Structure 1
Amino acid sequence: MFSVSRLCGSSSARFLPQLANLTPKTVNHLAPLRSYANLICKKPQPLWRNSTKAFQRGSGTVTFRLASDSTQKGRKSVGYWLVACSGMVFVAVVLGGVTRLTESGLSMVTWKLLGEKMPRTQQEWEEEFAKYQQYPEFKIKNRDITLSEFKFIWHMEYGHRQWGRFIGAAFLIPAAYFWARGRFTPGMKKRVLAFGTLIGAQGLMGWYMVKSGLEDRFNGESDVPRVSQYRLASHLGLAFILYTLFISSAFEHLLPAETIKVSSAAVLKASRKFRMLAHTTKGMVFLTAISGAFVAGLDAGLVYNSFPKMADKWVPDDIFAFTPKLVNFTENPTTVQFDHRILGTSTLALITSLWWLSRRRILPRRAYLATSALLAVGYLQVALGITTLLTYVPVPVAASHQSGSLLLLSTAVWLTHELKKLPK
């Protein structure tokens, strides 16, 4: 006979032997009995509540499955949002590169948080053009520019700025929705706050960079009005950091890292060393990209347009022409280009070594694919860089080279993501 006392109490351990032998049919018979038992226990509960609990217990698999599916859908929706944000940052970097290559960045001499008003009438365009004529770029370099030519560079800078503001809106509105719906884990909430801070800092750094090109510090006729290469590198560096955080978080939501079984401690140690090398390579990709910002800021791609030598020499004579010598690394176009070459070839050597080692290491399945992708993109990026140099920095090729740096960083981030769950 089934004992009523067994149905009383809150400890689930008492029911384990009985629950192990239950079938859907016996559960259906048990539900009324459970409700009746609750009436004579110390903590009586309404029949409807206990019947509901019995139904949920009898169909617990379906309940838990629905909850799991809902959580999974929420996680994927956050992941897709992160992918969209990272894609928008990618486009922003490309637009910024084209704006720099077309020398459009100094065409807008004011900055407003919510955006500048676009001129509509001929009079408004002439007023905007008159503002531009008060600054060094027009006085020293573009004195012969026409109004139609000014409109082109103004629209380039305007599009870049508006895209940045669009990124802010596309991030903030969904972030507020997901936060309110409880879609973020505590760790993800910290990342979201970091994302918002970086987006704001990126916009402020952009204007701080532009201001450096509007300052009255270009005195000679041979001076070329341009933004500070230090601020340009900071602006690009913030964009790369923001992009890296977005894409790595997207991988965590949409492409969880795989685990592997390693039977030998020596094999596991070798895999961990491989992971360390992968992180080093990712750091080198980032550093090489930042050095490229100094190349762009100083127009260093227009000196020594030969490869692999520089004017028939491996090390040019004017590499330490500036004093003190330390400033050559950030202010001498020759040294900046030389450093970028060294960093680029060193990074490619690391990528090649990483791919060769991956054939001899036990790694997660997708890590092999990520390593091969990193190798392919690495050689493509170097080829684009050499082509950019030899062809005197044409806009399409140079923009492709800058885009390639982000693509290379993406594959490096993917590889390190796949190596996250190596056994302890």
Structure 2
Amino acid sequence: MYFTSALVSRSLIKNAGIIFSKQPVPKNLYATRLFGTSLQKQAEAFIPKQRIKSLLPTNNSFRQAVTRFCSKAAEPAKGQKAVGWWLVGCSGMVFVAVVLGGVTRLTESGLSMSHWKLLGEKPPTTKEDWIREFEYYKQFPEFKLKNAEMTLEEFKFIFWMEYGHRMWGRCIGAFYAIPAAYFWSRGYFNKSMKIKVGIFGTLIGLQGLMGWYMVKSGLEDRFQDPNDVPRVSQYRLAAHLSFALGLYILFLMSAFDHLMPTKQHAIEITQKALKLRKYAHISKGMIFLTAISGAFVAGLDAGLVYNSFPMFADRWIPSDLWAISPAIKNVTENPTTVQFNHRILGTSTLALISGMWMLSRKCKLPPRAHTAATAVVIMGWMQVVLGISTLLTYVPTHLAASHQSGSLILLSMAVWLTHELKYLKKLPK
């Protein structure tokens, strides 16, 4: 019955539009989504108001049937929620990988596995296997110059730390690739998403290669002097972290687009709101840059010098800030300068975040945007407190790992805020 009535009504509306308005029926009438709006308002575009009441019955269920029939817009893309939650899972996997990597560095476990295989290494299972693995480790600089007194049991601990980090990275690849292939074959990806999927896969592969390239720098024969400290290159460590953070941000942004789509907000947007959006993006960049500077701090063990705050011992500016020649090398190779830069970046980022939050209180914004701005400033202060506590207590593993995790959470909050401000536009008056 509804189907027959809908056919009649559609024909009646179309003919009435031609007769009374003397205009062709707009093509977009049947291609526009009508859910949530009354058919009467849609009909007003081409039928005189005085004729509408006589043309449309008042029964709501009848109108809904006509609405469903006349709407020929495509349904929402299939499986968007499933794809969104898959992307959330991928970002969560990367989050854990970054934390594991930080703990691996803090426990100085990264050089325990001195070989690398693409599809994974089989861990030792027997005592003979462990002895063989330990003897292989003894051939490299870290054991010769630093861990000459290490026992087999101590070696097992650092081995399992590095093994867990590597295998988690491979799990990320599987967790990404298998659902991606399924979603692609089922037509869940549009053209834009297919490009992103290709980028995600490329970054995951590059991340794995960069991880091995980083470890290899700590196994080289460049450590010969007994005073040398065998460690991975801080440059490669920063690059490895940059790839991980970039991948994490891209996964999270795509997840927000699928699960929390943001529409253009029909409110009067002021210049303050547009300025807030600019500051939000700058804050996100500053958080990212501060996190990368933290990689240099970790790579050089710079957190173990000048364990006081806010002064460096009894000085505001340390005396050995430019101890290395040429001066430019101090920025990335002098532990004192690296820690100094990290402090300056951290406090500058906190000041920017706090100012952005105060500006947000003066702007008319969607509720979720206000919540995101508040989350950013709260996490920003917590992160600074964690950083100072880590420094003053000589970098204990649990606090240092919490500080690194805090940087990821803060970055997540900043990505959320910029997502909520994505489509702000100054509407015409």
Give the TM-score range, shorter chain. Answer: 0.7 to 0.9
Q: Post-superposition shift, 1:103?
A: 0.3
Letter in 1 for 2:324: F
Moved more, 131-140 or 362-371: 362-371
Q: Post-superposition shift, 1:64?
A: 6.8
* Structure-2 separation of matches of 1:367 and 1:155: 43
* CA offset digits 1:69-97 (Å, max 9, x no partner): xx466111100000000000000000000
TM-score by length of 1: 0.85
* Structure 2 gap ranges (5+): 1-6, 20-42, 44-51
Match of 1:391 in 2: 393
Q: Post-superposition shift, 1:396?
A: 0.5
* Structure 1 gap ranges (5+): 1-5, 29-56
Which residue, out of 284, 287, 293, partners 1:285? Answer: 287
* CA offset digits 1:195-240 (Å, max 9, x no partner): 0010000000000000000001112111110000000000001000
Match of 1:98 in 2: 103
Q: Post-superposition shift, 1:270?
A: 2.2
**What's the secondary structure of 1:317's corresponding residue?**
coil
Which residue, out of 374, 377, 387, partners 1:375? Answer: 377
**What's the secondary structure of 1:157's corresponding residue?**
helix
Letter in 2 for 1:364: P
Q: Post-superposition shift, 1:186?
A: 1.0
Letter in 2 for 1:235: H
Match of 2:313 in 1: 311
The answer on whether the counterparts of 1:258 and 1:364 sit within 8 Å (CA) in structure 2 is no
Letter in 1 for 2:307: N
The answer on whether the counterparts of 1:310 and 1:316 sit within 8 Å (CA) in structure 2 is yes
Match of 1:132 in 2: 137
Match of 2:231 in 1: 226
Match of 1:61 in 2: 68
* CA offset digits 1:132-163 (Å, max 9, x no partner): 00000000000010111101100000000000
Letter in 1 for 2:270: L
Moved more, 298-307 or 363-372: 363-372
Q: Post-superposition shift, 1:361?
A: 1.3
* Structure-1 separation of matches of 2:340 and 2:235: 18
- Identity fraction in percent: 63
* CA offset digits 1:371-417 (Å, max 9, x no partner): 00001100000000001000111011000000000000000000000
* Structure-1 separation of matches of 2:283 and 2:87: 24
State how many pairs are aligned. Answer: 381
Letter in 1 for 2:392: L
Match of 2:244 in 1: 239
Match of 1:33 in 2: none
**What's the secondary structure of 2:164's corresponding residue?**
helix
Letter in 2 for 1:187: S
Match of 2:147 in 1: 142
Match of 2:38 in 1: none
* CA offset digits 1:287-341 (Å, max 9, x no partner): 0000000000000000000000001111000000000000100000000000000
Counterparts in 2 of 1:121 and 1:248: CA distance versus 1, 3 Å: same
* Structure-1 separation of matches of 2:411 and 2:298: 19
Match of 1:353 in 2: 355
Q: Post-superposition shift, 1:17?
A: 6.8
Q: Post-superposition shift, 1:24?
A: 12
* Structure-2 separation of matches of 1:115 and 1:405: 29
Letter in 2 for 1:202: Q
Q: Post-superposition shift, 1:60?
A: 7.4
Q: Which runs of 4 or more aligned residues in structure 1 lie more than 6 Å from their structure 2 counterparts after TM superposition?
A: 15-20, 22-25, 57-60, 62-67
The answer on whether the counterparts of 2:77 and 2:188 sit within 8 Å (CA) in structure 1 is no
* CA offset digits 1:150-192 (Å, max 9, x no partner): 0110000000000000000000011111111111111111111
Letter in 1 for 2:159: W
Moved more, 269-278 or 85-94: 269-278
Residue 173 of structure 1 pairs with residue 178 of structure 2: yes
User: What value does the CA root-mean-square deviation take over the aligned residues?
Assistant: 2.6
* Structure-1 separation of matches of 2:387 and 2:16: 70
- Higher share of residues assigned helix: 1
* Structure-2 separation of matches of 1:135 and 1:315: 38
* Structure-1 separation of matches of 2:382 and 2:81: 32
Moved more, 218-227 or 401-410: 218-227
* Structure-2 separation of matches of 1:101 and 1:256: 39
TM-score by length of 2: 0.84
Q: Post-superposition shift, 1:268?
A: 2.8
